[in-house]
């Protein structure tokens, strides 16, 4: 009876609620079509945000100070790339601008889905700001605002990454459940299914919660607005620290920290610096003389095209990097290098190095038994590798970070092209590699001769001992018989 009374009360309450909804229905205004959320694109957007955060960090005061000194300080850069500071800093500026251009293209594709008309015109405003410095939509943030925006984007990136992991885990659980339902022979099937159902239920709740907190349920307008303001501010920062252009958005210079090593004067309308722009004054004057200049991104893209005399132009920079790494390992442990490994190394050599190597080895004897000369070669090879191997390692790092598999990951280093073999002079690099091969050839033969000599002496010693033992045995036998 009590149960029936409860049902009547529930039915009455539901009926009353339903009637109240029907009565109030005419007063509800028809809302506009809800803005679409980014959904699965949140993972791509999260990657874009990570790259923007990394780009902003690379332009910090400390990193810019390091950039002024480090390229010239690297011995390998001075030896085979260039010792011209203006050229090297120009390459650094061009590469940073090129990275921003690629990020801008990705943001432009997303902006086409926005409802805001200004956001849909992102590409036009972005090119205009790059070429003229005119910030029509007012998207450049102050340094303080940018730091606050970065914290917000960093939270979005973290939560979206967690969402991705939880969605993968949910898919795995659902696949396990489906597989379990198809298994008719399991004795513990019922309990296992119940456990999986419970895990899936809570996992779905977690995924739902993370979708609300992450980029998943954010509109295209909200997301693109954050991206647009960030990339405009980053581009303004690049122009500021490298002394590019004539106009500077007033919000950015006034917000730079007082302790900045590179900072503007009190006049925010120019790009002059107390400590001087990263580009030389002479180079800036030459740029200003050009009445008709290509766009900002176009001119930087041209600067990144390697000269004909470089490894980058010959498409050999990565190959030489791998070759140097292989030789470095062989030089460290020449006694472990077999004949097959030596032949494989020779097969890796380009024709130009093979001919240089043949010329260097002409007249060289087959004997390599001088320990003093072997020690001198080891020292010489160590000195060459000290300045050459960092460029080879940087080349591999730079390439791996830009491979297809790594496109959605944030670069873990700040390696620039000027610190790799890409702009290295081909003739100078091949001369250094040839020297490494000649030295490796000597210490490899020296180690083999020393090993063979030790083995020969060991065999002779064993033979002598065996002979002594046999003579002793004969004497003992003779003594016993007598």
Summarised one tens digit per residue, pLDDT across range 204-263 is: 999 999 999 999 999 999 999 999 999 999 999 999 998 886 434 333 332 333 233 332
- Return d(Cα 40, Cα 3) in angstroms, integer: 47
Q: Given this model, what pLDDT does residue 458 score?
A: 65
- Return d(Cα 403, Cα 393) in angstroms, integer: 16
- Return d(Cα 227, Cα 108) in angstroms, integer: 10
Backbone angles phi, psi at 316, to 5 degrees: -120, 0
Give tens-digit pLDDT for 73-98.
788 999 999 988 889 999 999 999 99
Q: What is the DSSP string of 124-181?
A: HHHHHHHHH---TT--PPPHHHHHHHHHHHHHHHHHHHHHHHHHHHHHHHHHHHHHHH
Please list the residues that pair with 322 across neighbouring strands.
Answer: none
- Return d(Cα 257, Cα 260) in angstroms, integer: 5
Q: Using an 8 Å Cβ cutoff, are 429 and 421 in contact?
A: yes
- Return d(Cα 285, Cα 354) in angstroms, integer: 46
Q: Given this model, what pLDDT does residue 479 score?
A: 43
In eight-state DSSP terms, residue 216 is: T
With bands split at pLDDT 50, 70 and 90, how would you rate the model's confidence at 366?
Answer: low
Nearest Cα neighbor of 215 from 285, 153, 138 is: 153
- Return d(Cα 178, Cα 157) in angstroms, integer: 32
Max Cα-Cα span within the chain: 134
- Does residue 473 register a pLDDT over 90? no
Q: Given this model, what pLDDT does residue 179 score?
A: 83
With bands split at pLDDT 50, 70 and 90, how would you rate the model's confidence at 10?
Answer: very low
Q: Using an 8 Å Cβ cutoff, are 152 and 52 in contact?
A: no
Query: What 3-state DSSP class applies to 273?
Result: strand
Nearest Cα neighbor of 390 from 398, 402, 379 is: 398
Nearest Cα neighbor of 139 from 119, 153, 154 is: 119
Q: Using an 8 Å Cβ cutoff, are 140 and 252 in contact?
A: yes
Q: Which range, of 64-78, 139-153, 281-295, 376-390, averages the lowest pLDDT?
A: 281-295
Confirm whether pTM is higher than 0.85: no
Q: Using an 8 Å Cβ cutoff, are 297 and 97 in contact?
A: yes
Compute the chain's Rg from CA coordinates. Answer: 35
Q: Residue 209: which residues within 8 A CB-CB, separation 6 or more?
A: none
Q: Given this model, what pLDDT does residue 224 score?
A: 96
- Return d(Cα 197, Cα 219) in angstroms, integer: 32
With bands split at pLDDT 50, 70 and 90, how would you rate the model's confidence at 116?
Answer: very high
- Does residue 378 register a pLDDT over 60? yes
Give tens-digit pLDDT for 287-308.
545 445 678 999 999 999 999 9
- Where is pLDDT greater, at 111 or 194? 111
Q: Given this model, what pLDDT does residue 188 score?
A: 61
Q: What share of the chain is helix, strand, coil (3-state, %, to 5)?
A: 70, 0, 25
Q: Given this model, what pLDDT does residue 342 score?
A: 86
- Return d(Cα 398, Cα 395) in angstroms, integer: 5
- Write the Ramachandran bin of 256: left for phi over 0, alpha for psi from -120 to 50, otherwise beta: beta
- Return d(Cα 296, Cα 14) in angstroms, integer: 66
Q: Residue 197: which residues within 8 A CB-CB, separation 6 or more?
A: 177
pLDDT mean over 35-41: 87
Nearest Cα neighbor of 337 from 442, 448, 433, 435 is: 448
């Amino acid at each position: 009876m009590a149960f029936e009374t409860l049902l009547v009360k529930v039915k009455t309450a539901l009926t009353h609620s339903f009637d109240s909804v029907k009565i109030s229905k005419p007063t509800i205004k028809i809302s506009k079509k809800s803005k679409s959320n980014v959904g699965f694109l949140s993972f791509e957007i999260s990657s874009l945000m990570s790259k923007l955060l990394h780009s902003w960090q690379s332009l910090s005061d400390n990193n810019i100070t390091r950039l002024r000194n480090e390229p010239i300080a690297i011995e390998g850069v001075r030896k085979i790339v260039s010792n011209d500071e203006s050229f090297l800093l120009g390459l650094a500026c061009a590469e940073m601008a090129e990275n921003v251009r690629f990020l801008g293209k990705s943001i432009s594709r997303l902006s086409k889905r926005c409802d805001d008309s200004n956001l849909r015109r992102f590409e036009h405003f972005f090119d205009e700001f790059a070429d003229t410095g005119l910030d029509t939509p007012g998207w450049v943030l102050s340094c303080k605002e940018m730091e606050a925006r970065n914290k917000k984007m960093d939270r979005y990136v973290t939560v979206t990454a967690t969402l991705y992991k939880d969605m993968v885990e949910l898919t795995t659980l659902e696949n396990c459940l489906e597989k379990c339902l198809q298994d008719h022979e399991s004795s513990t099937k019922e309990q296992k299914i119940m456990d999986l159902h419970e895990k899936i239920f809570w996992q779905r709740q977690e995924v739902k919660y993370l979708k609300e907190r992450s980029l998943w349920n954010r509109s295209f307008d909200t997301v693109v607005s954050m991206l647009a303001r960030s990339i405009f501010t980053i581009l303004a920062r690049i122009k500021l620290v490298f002394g590019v252009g004539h106009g500077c958005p007033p919000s950015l210079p006034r917000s730079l920290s007082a302790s900045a090593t590179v900072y503007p004067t009190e006049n925010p309308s120019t790009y002059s610096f107390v400590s001087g722009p990263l580009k030389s004054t002479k180079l800036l004057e030459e740029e200003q003389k050009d009445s008709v200049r290509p766009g900002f991104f176009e001119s930087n893209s041209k600067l990144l095209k390697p000269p004909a005399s470089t490894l980058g132009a010959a498409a050999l920079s990565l190959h030489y990097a791998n070759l140097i790494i292989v030789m470095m390992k062989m030089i460290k442990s020449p006694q472990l290098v077999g004949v097959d490994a030596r032949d494989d190394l020779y097969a890796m050599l380009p024709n130009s190095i093979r001919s240089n190597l043949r010329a260097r080895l002409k007249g060289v004897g087959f004997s390599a038994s001088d320990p003093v000369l072997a020690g001198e070669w080891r020292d010489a090879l160590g000195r060459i590798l000290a300045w050459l191997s960092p460029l080879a390692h940087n080349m591999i790092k730079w390439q791996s970070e830009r491979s297809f598999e790594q496109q959605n990951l944030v670069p873990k280093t700040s390696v620039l092209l000027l610190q790799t073999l890409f702009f290295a002079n081909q003739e100078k690099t091949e001369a250094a590699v040839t020297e490494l091969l000649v030295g490796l050839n000597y210490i490899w033969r020296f180690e083999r001769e020393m090993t063979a000599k030790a083995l020969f002496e060991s065999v002779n010693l064993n033979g002598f001992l065996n002979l002594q033992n046999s003579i002793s045995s004969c004497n003992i036998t003779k003594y016993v018989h007598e």
